A = this chain, B = another copy of it.
């Protein structure tokens, strides 16, 4: 449990640096991230470097024992650089170029810009790669933020064509795979394939899907080019990138593959995130000052998988932010709570954004640990408290990693892309469905591992697949060879890898273990909510329902009032034919967990549990004061069982 901070020495007078470093160390901070937007100060003119200020900043911080995370500044190329490569500006869907004047103004397909990125990375790494205080390197910043992937440039078109040629070998194979005979969309050659944009009606979904795959690969290769430079010059440092929450533009599993990163880090702004994701308005209202109780945990569990067990929060919200439709002050306690929540889910480090609120430029309404006048902010006070608690507790300081959970939830980026390309009904969003499943599990006190479809799932007792567009034989083999209970949600197995309906109808290969077929699928207007009860829980289908035929060997476990099957199973494998209202999801997942031999509990509203290193943590995101569900005789190592809103406690169960 270590605490870090993001710091921008270039934004403050040098006279403040030494005092800043002293106060950071006294506060209990161990890591400081710097430099990721400072290209114009490192290289004020082409090839003219000024390292003096950065040398001084690093030495000042290191002198207080602080460890440094250095960021490559490639998210903010300076003006002289952009003016020397004008076509590095990314191209919007309407064909116009984005402009200089903020950040992320580069086309990820620009080879010329990529060379510049390698050059500045090499210059930094040569100078600081073996500095003993520099323990980690971050590439760029929040790749894909502000919807800057994709770019619709000529460069992107050429690289996409090359990517297609590599994937398909012949244009005939591409035409066949995409089904281009439909509407005479057949291409004579790879060189004639354009970008799937500005078509009078929908572009071919296979075209769109391959473009998304291509762009995802571009993001990964952009990082790898810098990572390779860093590996050469900073062989002992961790290489990482700071990902974002609820962000699916690229496949993070693929990004991280082959040791492209050492640790997954992500930027956690739970209140703003709650405001902008697809949770119901009632939840947004209820949790406006605490964030939804699962919104950070979902990404903690996701990035723990992406980092193969190692993850950090690189930027943690420290107070009100500036970018959501509304930006309230967090409820008292939340800035501290979010740190413990991250730790309980396995974070090694929670690094706050930022040391001091910057009084000028775009983010002046974004809080930090200090106010612009250098007083500790309310959030800063809470961080100081957490740091003191950890410093005083041997147990917390030396806590082991989380054990694998009994429940796995498969999350798949390609499924997100496919269902975005053809939602079929407005409001169908795969990630929102996956989150609803996740939340239903967490409300019942269960720890969850979020995993890739390629993960080894053999040790889990319950595997939950909210949906998975493409099923292959390898995945079905896992089902067959597992002892776990499996629950599949709607639209599973509904597509081939080329974005077509399987020849034997959805759920495609799943029929090997659960013989059912989807005859027709329907998207549902809000007023069209087919009713259903599971036990004493009533509800309805939302967004999506399938008309399914149970074939020989499939059992119908529940039906809608109009007679269509809602749940079907065969042995350990169950399938839900619709997106259900949340209470039904809770009933469904609770029953599945109990059938898998797991204990479930009914937690008070807004309360969540998480286990790590033999401890159980309880968090209260709810309005009311509650009692943590600790067993008789539990030993409290943090806080006490009575939890006000925004409070946290942790205990060791009695032997």
A residues lining the B interface (CB < 8 Å): 8, 10-11, 37-41, 44-45, 73, 76-80, 83, 90, 92, 94-105, 145-148, 178-188, 192, 194-207, 275, 284-285, 288-289, 319-320, 322, 325-329, 357-365, 367, 371-373, 375, 377-378, 422, 424-426, 498-505, 517, 519-525, 527-528, 547
Indicate whether A38 sits within 8 Å of B184 (C-beta atoms), given known contacts A360-B500, A523-B326: yes
B146 near A322: Cβ-Cβ < 8 Å: no
A184:B527 contact, CB within 8 angstroms: no
Residues of B within 8 A of A320 (CB): 520-522
| Between-chain CB contacts (< 8 Å), 22 pairs | A10-B181, A37-B182, A79-B187, A79-B192, A83-B192, A94-B96, A95-B96, A99-B197, A101-B204, A102-B202, A102-B204, A146-B201, A182-B358, A182-B361, A285-B525, A320-B520, A327-B522, A329-B522, A357-B501, A360-B498, A360-B500, A364-B501
Are B182 and A519 in touch, CB under 8 angstroms?
Answer: no
- Shortest beta-carbon distance from A516 to chain B in Å: 13
Whether the Cβ atoms of A203 and B359 lie closer than 8 Å is: no
Whether the Cβ atoms of B146 and A520 lie closer than 8 Å is no
- Apart from the given pairs A99-B197, A101-B194, A320-B521, 16 other A-B contacts in the complex at a CB distance below 8 Å: A79-B186, A101-B185, A101-B199, A101-B203, A145-B201, A205-B362, A326-B426, A326-B525, A327-B523, A328-B523, A329-B547, A360-B498, A365-B424, A371-B505, A371-B519, A372-B505
Q: Choose one: B186, B197, B329; the contact of A78 (CB below 8 Å).
A: B186
Complex: chain B residue closest to A505, CB-CB: B373
* Cα A497 to Cα B363 with chains together (Å): 17
Interface centre among A45, A99, A375, by most B CB within 10 Å? A99
Separation in Å of the A172 CB from the closest CB of chain B? 12
Specify which chain B residues have a CB less than 8 angstroms from the CB of A97 in the assembled complex: 198
Beyond A103-B183, A146-B201, is A377–B520 a contact (Cβ under 8 Å)? yes
**Which of B79, B92, B188, B328 makes the CB contact (< 8 A) with A524?**
B328
Residues in chain B near residue A200, CB distance under 8 A? 90, 98, 102-105, 146-148
Residues of B near A360 (CB, < 8 A) are 178-179, 182, 206, 498-501
Please indicate the chain B residues that have their CB under 8 angstroms from the CB of A147 in the complex: 200
Contact A322 B504 (CB under 8 A): no
Q: Are B100 and A199 in contact, CB atoms less than 8 angstroms apart?
A: yes
Determine the chain B residues whose CB is within 8 A of the CB of A94 once the complex forms.
94, 96
Q: What residues of B have a CB within 8 angstroms of the CB of A525 in the complex?
A: 275, 284-285, 288, 325-326, 328
CA–CA, A78 and B184, complex, Å? 6
Q: Are A102 and B203 in contact (CB under 8 A)?
A: yes
Using CB atoms, name the residue of chain B closest to A329. Answer: B522
